[in-house]
Amino acid sequence: EDQVTQSPEALRLQEGESSSLNCSYTVSGLRGLFWYRQDPGKGPEFLFTLYSAGEEKEKERLKATLTKKESFLHITAPKPEDSATYLCAVRRTQGGSEKLVFGKGTKLTVNP
């Protein structure tokens, strides 16, 4: 069964203090790893899609990387507005399913 584990569950940073969030996955035939940002009471907001090991994508202070077993979301010099829950999800090839399997998320708080 597909599994996605995110760590840590919660992370507190000072403004400007860089760090990384981890997403470990077990899936039969990865067909995309997705990162989303979710603010309280809102739907997830799409950030990145990664398809193969070694791939990297960047957006402002965020950089996502992918290996065969895990993905990292690096946050460089975060600001308070980066505070949110970051969700990781995978999609697999088996059975042609298009569903996303999500982790529980990492709740990031950036203090000014």
Partner 1 sequence: DTGVSQDPRHKITKRGQNVTFRCDPISEHNRLYWYRQTLGQGPEFLTYFQNEAQLEKSRLLSDRFSAERPKGSFSTLEIQRTEQGDSAMYLCASSLGMEREQFFGPGTRLTVL
Residues interacting with partner 1, by CB under 8 A?
4, 31-32, 34, 36, 41-46, 49, 87, 89, 97-105
Per-residue buried b or exposed e for 58-69, using 16+ beta carbons within 10 Å of the residue's own CB? eeeebbbbbeee
Closer to partner 1 at the Cβ: 66 or 89?
A: 89
Q: Which residues pair with 71 in a beta bridge?
A: 23, 66
**CB of residue 18 vs partner 1: minimum separation in angstroms?**
25
Closer to partner 1 at the Cβ: 4 or 75?
A: 4
The answer to whether 28 touches 3, Cβ cutoff 8 Å, is no
**CB of residue 108 vs partner 1: minimum separation in angstroms?**
15
**CB of residue 15 vs partner 1: minimum separation in angstroms?**
26
Query: How far is Cα 13 from Cα 96, in angstroms, rounded to an integer?
Result: 40
